[in-house]
């Protein structure tokens, strides 16, 4: 308890001191630098803040190039973080005794007799008060036990005594403040040397995805090459957005950089979902109408959370995905989905009046591009325009799911949208002709109209594919319609069971 209080007090002092420093002019300072990232020059570096970290008996010193204050404050047991803002201020810093390091201050002078008398009196008063409180609580607890003698319901502890916490428990501990979806920045920067890579599970234009092990559990490691640093940086920034955490958004853990075979690798660490992407899942799995509905609803719920701006003491900007497709949606064990790959996302805050498009040169997937993107009439200065392109792509994802849904014993093979109209790797002009000039839409099998759930989803799809962007449904309207359909479906099934 004493070491925890000391760490908390030190963290508060660092926080207050750093806030005071933020009011001064922004200038680079010289910092002591000791780490294995290759960022040091003759044992020093320059930045806006110097830092010192101690974790798992490992010390690191360095500097921040950005003034990000939430990385300078943590009260998690076993971790010490110290930030300062003067030249070489982190050179002699060590961890306090409660964490595992040595003391950095000289021993105090022996107190005088007046101090001892005052302390003894205060201690006597506090001891008397505590004894009275303990007696009161014991009496109250005894009465409570008598009144609940027959109640066997117990509350499980979050982390059992004597056991090492899992990464999920550590992750939850860090996220109780809602300050982001991943671990604190300085903890993230030690992830690469703690993860053991097992095997590659996918490749794309950005790099590779590997299955790895951290603290005895599986994680997914998305490895970017150094030439895709902008994509890695953008996706890391968005995943660290306040209050982004949601069941239908891929759970982010950390981002880090490491050196392998004399080349720099950029890592993005997330939860691992063994069923893979929705694209992979639909290749070999078919669905019942109820499963199709819940899968579509889970994607819509994730998109609603992205599109929604949360205005509170910890604000979340509205986010448009811009590359929504079945390959960027993962399937969880419960057959619900979570949206991933936020490297092209756009952020918008109405309360602060800004649109953050980023400067990533990548573009979205041509097969899923909305008409206004293909004919270049999209209003890039209006955030609603980006949300409307997500709705177009959402309709195409629903089409892929319904195609693999069995009705009356009939199910179609998986095919991508517009498979019968464009080649496997369509050009920009080919998609523009099909979608904008000919105004073609994916074909819909007649069996879909014979089932009430699928016919309702077909109606939603058609309203997502309007040529005019403002005429399309919003993600919230899609979610509400599917939720009502899901509720009605459960009611009808229960009534059928009662009748039987």
Catalytic positions: 323
DSSP SS3 for 491? helix
Which among 75, 30, 32, 35 is positioned nearest to 48, based on CA atoms?
Answer: 30
The alpha-carbon radius of gyration of the chain (Å, integer) is: 28
DSSP secondary structure of 422-460: S-SS--HHHHHIIIIIS-------GGGGGSHHHHHHHHH
The Cα-based distances of 158 to 111, 153, 219, 323, 473 in angstroms read: 43, 16, 21, 37, 41
Residue 497 counted as an annotated binding residue: no
CB 321 within 8 A of CB 306: yes
d(CA 454, CA 411) in angstroms, rounded, equals 13
d(CA 327, CA 281) in angstroms, rounded, equals 10
Which among 365, 497, 350 is positioned nearest to 418, based on CA atoms?
Answer: 365
Which among 258, 244, 290, 273 is positioned nearest to 188, based on CA atoms?
Answer: 258
Beta strands in 105-240 (DSSP E): 196-203, 207-214, 217-225
- Residues forming the annotated binding site for ATP? 222
């Amino acid at each position: 308890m004493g070491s925890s209080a000391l760490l908390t007090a030190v963290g508060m002092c660092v926080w207050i001191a750093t806030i005071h420093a933020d009011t001064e002019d922004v200038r680079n300072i010289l910092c002591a630098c000791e780490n294995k990232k290759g960022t040091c020059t003759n044992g020093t570096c320059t930045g806006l803040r110097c830092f010192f970290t101690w974790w798992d008996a490992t010390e690191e010193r360095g500097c921040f190039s950005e003034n990000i204050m939430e990385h300078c404050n943590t009260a998690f047991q076993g971790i010490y973080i110290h930030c300062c803002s003067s030249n070489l201020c982190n050179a002699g810093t060590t961890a306090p005794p409660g964490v595992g390091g040595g003391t950095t201050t000289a021993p105090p002078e022996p107190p005088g007799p007046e101090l001892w008398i005052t302390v003894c009196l205060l201690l006597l008063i506090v001891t008397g008060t505590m004894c009275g409180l303990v007696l009161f609580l014991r009496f109250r607890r005894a009465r409570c036990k008598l009144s609940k003698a027959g109640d066997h319901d117990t509350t499980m502890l979050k982390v059992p005594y004597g056991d090492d916490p899992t990464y999920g428990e550590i992750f939850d501990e860090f996220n109780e403040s809602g300050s982001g979806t991943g671990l604190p920045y300085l903890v993230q920067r030690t992830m690469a040397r703690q993860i053991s890579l097992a095997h590659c599970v996918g490749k794309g234009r950005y790099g590779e995805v590997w299955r790895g092990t951290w603290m005895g559990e599986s994680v997914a490691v998305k490895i970017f090459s150094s030439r895709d640093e902008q994509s890695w940086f953008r996706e890391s920034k968005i995943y660290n957005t306040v209050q982004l955490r949601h069941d239908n958004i891929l759970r982010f853990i950390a981002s880090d950089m490491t050196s392998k075979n004399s080349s720099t690798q950029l890592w993005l660490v997330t939860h691992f979902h063994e069923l893979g992407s929705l694209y992979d899942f639909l290749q070999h799995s078919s669905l019942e109408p109820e499963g199709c509905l819940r899968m579509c609803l889970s994607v819509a719920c994730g998109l609603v959370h992205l599109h929604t701006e949360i205005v509170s003491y910890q604000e979340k900007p509205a986010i448009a995905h811009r590359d929504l497709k079945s390959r960027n949606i993962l399937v969880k064990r419960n057959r619900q989905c979570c949206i991933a790959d936020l490297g092209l996302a756009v952020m918008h805050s109405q309360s602060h009046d800004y649109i953050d498009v980023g400067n990533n040169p990548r573009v979205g997937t041509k097969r899923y591009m909305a008409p206004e993107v293909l004919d270049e009439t999209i209003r890039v200065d209006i955030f609603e325009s980006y949300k409307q392109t997500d709705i177009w792509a959402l309709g195409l994802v629903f089409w892929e799911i319904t195609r693999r849904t069995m009705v009356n014993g009939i199910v179609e093979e998986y095919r991508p949208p517009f498979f019968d109209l464009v080649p496997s790797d369509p050009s920009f002009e080919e998609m523009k002709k099909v979608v904008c000039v000919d105004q073609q839409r994916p074909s819909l099998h007649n069996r879909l109209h014979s089932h009430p759930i699928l016919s309702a989803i077909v109606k939603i799809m058609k309203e997502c594919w309007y040529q005019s962007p403002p005429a399309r449904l919003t993600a919230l309207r899609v979610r509400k319609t599917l939720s009502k359909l899901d509720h009605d479906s459960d009611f009808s099934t229960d009534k059928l069971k009662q009748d039987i």
